[in-house]
Amino acid sequence: MAREARYPLDPLVQVMERLLGPGGCPWDREQDHRSLRPYVIEEAYEVVAAIDGGDPDKLKEELGDLLLQVVFHAALAARENRFDVGEVVDGIVAKLVRRHPHVFGERQARSASAVLRQWEDIKREEAASGERGGKVRLEAHLPALMQAQKLLERAARTGRPVRSMIERAAAGLGPGEGDLARRLLCLLEEARSRGLEAELVLKEAAVRMARELDEV
C-alpha cells in the first residue's frame, strides 16, 4: 500500500484554490455546500448514464466531473477551517481498511454475501462505539425508491422478516396510501431478490418515455 501515487490530486486542488481565491471565478466564489447539492446529484447520474452507455471516454469525463464536486466541497470546507481534501482521502482509506478485515486483518469472508454481512456488522460496531456518531444511517438522503430498497437489502442481510416489515410499514397510512405503499415495497423486494436496482430501472424507463414524448 505504501507507494507513491501516480496521479496526485494536487493539480486539481490547486486549480480549485485559484478559482476560489482573490481574482478567481465570481460564480465559484459565491457557492457553498448547499448551492452545490444539485450538481452532486446531477454528476452522479451522469456517471451512471456513461456506464450504461458503455463509452469509456465518456465515463472518464463524467468521473472527472464527479471528482470535481468532491474537491470543490473539500475546498469550501478548507476555507472554513473544517477539513481539507487530504483528510477526505485519509478518512476513506481508513474506512476501507477498517471495513475489510478479511483483506487487511485476520477475519474470514469467503463470499460477497459474507462481506456484506460483515460490513453491516462493522457499521453497527462503529455506531455502538461512537465512531460514527450515533445510529446507523437510515439512508434518508437518498431518493425514496433507492432508500427503501437499501433498507430492504439491510433487512434481508440481517435476517429480519421482510414481508412482515413491509406490512407494518404500510399500516397506519391514509386511505389508499397503505395499499400503494405495500405494493411499491413488494415490487422493490422483488427487484432486490432479482438483483435489480429499481431506481436505475425506473430512471431508464423515464428516459425512454421522455425520448418518445420528444418525438411526438
* CATH number, span 10-99: 1.10.287.1080
Residue pLDDT tens, the chain, 216 long: 455 667 789 999 999 999 999 999 999 999 999 999 889 988 998 998 899 889 999 999 999 999 999 999 999 999 999 999 999 999 999 999 999 999 998 888 889 988 888 888 888 788 777 655 445 456 667 788 888 998 998 888 888 899 999 999 999 888 899 999 999 999 999 999 999 989 888 888 888 888 889 875
CA distance linking residue 73 with residue 64, whole number of Å: 14
Q: What is the pLDDT of residue 214?
A: 82
Burial classification of residue 178, based on how many CB atoms lie within 10 Å of its CB (0-12 exposed, 13-18 middle, 19 or more buried)? middle
The cell for 97 is 481498511
Q: What is the pLDDT of residue 142?
A: 76
Let me know how many helices (H) and strands (E) the chain has, helices first: 11, 0
CA distance linking residue 150 with residue 157, whole number of Å: 10
Q: What is the pLDDT of residue 29?
A: 96
Q: What is the pLDDT of residue 134?
A: 46
CA distances from 99 to 20, 35, 60, 125, 158 (A): 35, 32, 27, 11, 17
Residues of the chain with CATH 1.10.287.1080: 10-99
CA distance linking residue 207 with residue 1, whole number of Å: 42
pTM metric for this prediction = 0.67
Count of CB atoms situated within 10 Å of the CB of 184: 16
Q: What is the pLDDT of residue 1?
A: 46
Q: What is the pLDDT of residue 133?
A: 47
Q: What is the pLDDT of residue 216?
A: 58
**Nearest partner of 180 among 192, 166, 163, judged by Cα:** 166
